[in-house]
Amino acid sequence: MSLRRLPKATINRIAAGEVVERPASAVKELVENALDAGAGQVDIVMADGGRRLIAVSDDGAGMTADELALCIERHATSKLPDDDLLDIKWLGFRGEALPSIAAVSRLALTSRVRGAEAAWRLEVEAGAASGPMPAAHPPGTRVEVRDLFFSTPARLKFLKTARTELNHAIDTVRRLAMAHPDVGFQLRQDERRVLDLPAVPGDLFPARLERLAAVLGREFAENALAIEAEREGLALTGYAGLPTYSRGNAGQQYLFVNGRAVRDRLLVGAVRAAYSDVLARDRHPVVALFVRLAPELVDVNVHPAKAEVRFRDPGLVRGLIVSALRHALAEAGHRASGTVSTAALGAFRPEGTALPTWPRGGGGGAPRGLAEAAAAYQAPYAAADRLAGTTAPGARVQATPADDPGEHPLGAARAQLHETYIIAESRDGLIVVDQHAAHERIVMERMKAELGAGGVAGQLLLLPEVVELDEASVSRLAARAGELAELGLGLEAFGAGAVVVREVPALLGQTDVPGLVRDLAVELAEWDQALGLRERLDDVAASMACHASVRAGRRLDIAEMNALLRDMERTPNAGQCNHGRPTYVALKLADIERLFGRR
């Protein structure tokens, strides 16, 4: 074994191993170069998932013949004019992407500088260059990568199907496009346009929202809160999805630092923390957040593909994200996802061609969805007919013409259905509240507020209640007695097989004490020992709320229902229960009219 310097081609191939993992990574590098060159439009063409061809064309600044010859040299870059790694203003700075790609493919670059007469072309095969030679090309640059990984069969073997590789490339371009709404992007594969995002001119904020809507769908734009916060030179902007618009995985969290798409654990953790009160652990919010800070406050030179960054002051970044998102979510208050009510409305809507048979009353009968809808609507009316004293089965209706629905966002309570849902009339529509979910949310927010003010107020029981339990549950509850007392639940072990409860949280009102204690014991067994109950407050509150009086399956009178609605309006985050399910849906009159074909 003798020590020696590696040949250039081998060095570049090693570098390529880090930078170019798959076709999508080459796409990322080439598109970033186009953006750095000030392109207004970037067109990408792929064949066979990028294996056969990746071509990226831009209308940016272009390169001279000399620059063309130099740009494929390792460590040749125009982006570190002062050699200052603390002052990185472009997406690139390593001078490694093109030589790395050139080392593992057949590369051709054609470019014309803006305002220049002629274009030039350079071809590189397995690291050996020919040219530059004169060529025909409009101002801008076109980079063609053919037969990616032909010289590294091992890497080639790891590529997935063309469809999968294409999808990775699409994801890459979408991320880049979110951060650059003023640039148009097009991606074609085999003559098929798979992504088309026209440039959005104008002010950044509206342009960005429009671009996000184009990339993530209109629904996101309609279900997202605008975020804008600043602290000590650190700016956070973007959009955060409502909890009711959450997803089963974290794949739709788009995070950017100084215009660079990053996958950063600190940022992901901050987003998770911000939503922890309003989302269950297995639900994930959809967000597009843009962090901007002075280049010297963040190190982007920590990852070969620049997918990770390191902040000088991580605590500041985390704090700003958590507080800005929490604030926005609390401000949004009782706003639930509009998509939920759209879906609900869809369920009411008769499907397709079956409709005409029904209104004529003939033959086939109503299609299923419609029949259900009709039944749901008929119930309260049937009940109203019998209003004089008797209680309708499954529905309670009280007409109280005196209260004016207009004053309150959640309107005036009119009926309770199935002992679970409150129907309220608002100024411009109809509100359906899940009373259990709503109450859970209110309990949770009150507990949070009281905890913040020192501790949850307890209500002494006139007669202490002894609850019999298995031994393990008793010791588990006893071990948490101090924490439970802070939450307003005073209990202690009562021999080996029971606890005695002396105090329950006052805000619960009348409570089924044995049920509450038994449920808590079961849940304590499941929860992580290391986590304090404050950290599990959402779960604790949810399980306590279950045993309070206002829950599914209890009849409420109009006054109680209205009290609940007013409570919801006052409560931060009231649009969803502790687990991100909506607590109510609103149907606009216009939607209802559409339902009946009046519009």
Ligand X SMILES: Nc1ncnc2c1ncn2[C@@H]1O[C@H](COP(=O)(O)OP(=O)(O)OP(=O)(O)O)[C@@H](O)[C@H]1O
Q: Which of 16, 26, 46, 63 binds ligand X (CB under 6 A)?
A: 63
The minimum distance between CB 22 and ligand X, in angstroms, equals 17
**Strand, helix or coil at 427?**
coil
The minimum distance between CB 170 and ligand X, in angstroms, equals 20
487 binds, among Mg ion, ligand X, none (CB under 5 to 8 A by kind): none
Nearest by Cα to 185 from 53, 177, 213? 177
Q: Which of 25, 33, 151, 246 binds Mg ion (CB under 5 A)?
A: 33
Half-sphere exposure (Cβ direction) of 245: Cα atoms closer than 13 Å? 26
Q: List phi, psi (to 5°) of 416.
A: -120, 130
Quick one: tokens of 12?
Answer: 């570049």
Q: Which residue is nearest to ligand X (CB)?
A: 92
Give whichever of 58 and 277 is closer to ligand X, judged by the CB atom. 58
Instruction: Scan for tokens 């013409």, then name that residue.
Output: 401
The minimum distance between CB 154 and ligand X, in angstroms, equals 23
Cis bond before residue 132 (omega within 30° of 0):
yes
The minimum distance between CB 42 and ligand X, in angstroms, equals 9
Q: Which of residues 95-124 bind Mg ion (CB under 5 A)?
A: 97
37 binds ligand X (CB under 6 A): yes
**Strand, helix or coil at 160?**
coil
| Amino acid letter for position 42 | V
Binding mask 64-103 for ligand X (x = CB under 6 A): -------x----xxxx------------xxxxxxx-----
The minimum distance between CB 142 and ligand X, in angstroms, equals 8
94 binds, among ligand X, Mg ion, none (CB under 5 to 8 A by kind): ligand X
| Amino acid letter for position 352 | G
Q: Which of 50, 60, 92, 184 binds Mg ion (CB under 5 A)?
A: 92
Q: Phi/psi zone of residue 211: left (φ > 0), alpha (ψ -120 to 50 degrees), beta?
A: alpha
> With DSSP H G I counted as helix, E B as strand and the rest as coil, what are the percentages for the chain, rounded to 5?
40, 25, 35
Find out whether 291 and 235 touch, Cβ atoms under 8 Å. Answer: yes
- Say which residues have a Cβ less than 8 Å from residue 115's Cβ, sequence separation at least 6: 139
Find out whether 422 and 416 touch, Cβ atoms under 8 Å. Answer: yes
Binding part of the chain for Mg ion, among 27-35, 123-131, 295-303, 337-345 by CB under 5 A, reads 27-35
Cβ atoms within 10 Å, residue 199: 17
368, burial (CB in 10 Å: exposed 0-12, middle 13-18, buried 19+): exposed
Q: Which residue is nearest to Mg ion (CB)?
A: 92
How far, in Å, CA of 137 to CA of 115, rounded? Answer: 12
Give whichever of 29 and 425 is closer to ligand X, judged by the CB atom. 29
Find out whether 230 and 236 touch, Cβ atoms under 8 Å. Answer: yes
**Strand, helix or coil at 281?**
coil
**Strand, helix or coil at 414?**
strand
93 binds, among ligand X, Mg ion, none (CB under 5 to 8 A by kind): ligand X
63 binds, among Mg ion, ligand X, none (CB under 5 to 8 A by kind): ligand X
Give whichever of 92 and 238 is closer to Mg ion, judged by the CB atom. 92
578 binds Mg ion (CB under 5 A): no
304 binds Mg ion (CB under 5 A): no
The minimum distance between CB 55 and ligand X, in angstroms, equals 12
141 binds, among ligand X, Mg ion, none (CB under 5 to 8 A by kind): ligand X
96 binds, among ligand X, Mg ion, none (CB under 5 to 8 A by kind): ligand X
Contact residues for Mg ion (CB under 5 A)? 33, 92, 97
Contact residues for ligand X (CB under 6 A)? 29, 33-34, 37, 58, 60-63, 71, 76-79, 92-98, 141
